[in-house]
Amino acid sequence: MVLLLLRTQIHFYIILSLIIITPSSLSESNQFCDSGIGYGDSTSGNEFGSSNSKLLIKGGTVVNANHKQIADVYVEDGIILAVNPNIRVGDEVTVIDATGKFVMPGGIDPHTHLEFEFMGTETVDDFFSGQAAALAGGTTMHIDFVIPHNGNLTAGFEAYEKKAKKSCMDYGFHMAITKWDEAVSREMELMVKDKGINSFKFFMAYKGSLMINDELLLQGFKKCKSLGALAMVHAENGDAVHEGQNRMTELGITGPEGHSLSRPAVLEGEATARAIRLAEFVNTPLYVVHVMSIDALEEIAKARNSGQRVIGEPVVSGLVLDESWLWHPDFETAAKYVMSPPIRKRGHDKALQAALSTGVLQLVGTDHCAFNSTQKAFGIEDFRKIPNGVNGIEERMHLVWDTLVESGQISVTDYVRLTSTECARIFNIYPRKGAILPGSDADIIILNPNSSFEITSKSHHSRLDTNVYEGRRGKGKVEVTIAGGKVVWENNEVKVTPGVGRYIEMAPFNYLFDGLDKKDAIYLNSLQAPVKRQKYTT
């Protein structure tokens, strides 16, 4: 654990110290996403020398999660070396004028499914096309879910390693747990200590495939706590959903609307409450993925108000869409909106937005899980066979800005926190990621608040032939994306190469674990047990 922690944290602090004391520079690679180590003086007004892989972003408003300022940002070999006004540079430094625009950390999407085998098919976006789409939308890192092979974590991890060889940007992994035995318990230790995974997901839905029961959930929560890994749940009551599906088919409701009707919000709320209470019983932090309903939101709010460490992650589809699309008379149109938990009735979206603005929910993901219209048609006679999933990896940053910042619900600094910084903190990669600071990775976006965007399936970069946000327009456009110090999106063009992305290891024991041992001690001291009693003999 200590070694893995050093791998992710020392990167920042060693480079920061070198920035202060070393005037020279080092360039190691021309590969996109390679993290060559940069050196230089970070004081305001000093002149930097010239070499390859040097970049100056000039005159923009630099925004971090807790502060914004007009400043220049100097990047060398993939690392931010200075954030100060009026930085002077030598020759051969690429200069980008960001005057009147926001310079922010690249987005981090905590919830994606690329090249995911599910419901008898596989998502159309792989680790290249999905990541290229992400970069076009201002996301510079994502965390994907590794699915074990027949419960075997190592086999699942190795399979995803192969899939990710075509990556063109930084990525990390969560690991799903689909069964429980001593072998799985040992493999969880291996994943944390040797593979850089610090989170495990438990599906409370998808009966007969991914779903686990409460006994497994308890065992998994206990193991997560001991390893300092974050427990994550897909919170729906899978048994009740199965019953709901049978009920709909008995009523002759076989179209996409049956998907929504079979898994109402009350089932999401019940499972969320159950997972929260079991996590409280174990005294371990909990992360609830794709929060879609007021029912689930209220359970999270109640737990957080009581002091429990619960993270709620809404996804962009739940923030900006409503379930009416599932009743569309055209099957192809309706089916593209099928995901789980379902997109809810109007009103749930506004409640989720408000929860983000007040801190009840902490960050925004996508659950990007792209199935094309041919794959969705597998369920044309039975909604239970429609592959579950919608797009969002490219659209998230724009839609969150237009929906929440343009409406005045959140500030620009809140935007950075919700789309980047909080994810980096939760998964223990801050300040390497999620910040515009000396020593941080040069994953940067330049957003023009006065520019506009339009979303269409013809212009997006996913391999998907549809888009659930088709025709949506808004203000605030990512005009430049910089990943690993390289400009990879500019002038509406993606410039990436497959096979140069980096796997980012994530250390255990994030800030949510601080003080848990004290809470355990208080609990043990409160038991007033065992009671010493006189033994009676007969």
Instruction: Give domain limits for the chain.
Output: 103-517
Strands (E), 139-272: 139-146, 170-177, 199-203, 230-234
Q: What tens digit of pLDDT does each residue of 424-467 get? A: 999 999 999 999 999 999 999 999 999 999 999 999 999 999 99
Which of 298, 315, 526, 313 has its CA nearest to residue 422?
313
* Mean pLDDT of all residues in 394-416: 98
Of 8-12, 213-217, 349-353, 382-386, the one with minimum mean pLDDT is 8-12
pLDDT at residue 9 is higher than 70:
no
User: Is pLDDT at 173 greater than 80 in this prediction?
Assistant: yes
The pLDDT tens digits of the residues spanning 14-38 come to: 344 433 333 233 222 222 233 322 2
Q: How confident is the model at residue 228 (pLDDT cuts 50, 70, 90)?
A: very high
User: What pLDDT, on the 0 to 100 scale, is given for residue 535?
Assistant: 85
Confidence of residue 51 (pLDDT cuts 50, 70, 90): very low
Output the pLDDT for position 62. Answer: 99
Query: Percent of the chain at pLDDT above 90?
Result: 89
Of the candidates 429, 364, 436, 346, the residue with the CA atom closest to the CA atom of residue 400: 364
* Alpha-carbon span 440 to 71, nearest angstrom: 16
Q: What is the pLDDT of residue 240?
A: 98
SS3 470: coil
Identity at 131, one-letter amino acid code: Q
**In this predicted model, which residue has the larger pLDDT, 19 or 487?**
487
CATH code assigned to 103-517: 3.20.20.140
Q: Does the pLDDT of residue 64 top 70, yes or no?
A: yes
Q: What is the DSSP string of 384-446?
A: GGSPP-B--TTTHHHHHIIIIITTTSS-HHHHHIIIIIHHHHHTT-TTTSS--STTSB--EEE
Q: What percent of the chain has pLDDT over 70?
A: 90
**Over residues 336-346, mean pLDDT:** 98
The stretch 414-420 carries a mean pLDDT of 99
Least confident range from 17-21, 74-78, 251-255: namely: 17-21
Quick check: 413 pLDDT over 50? yes
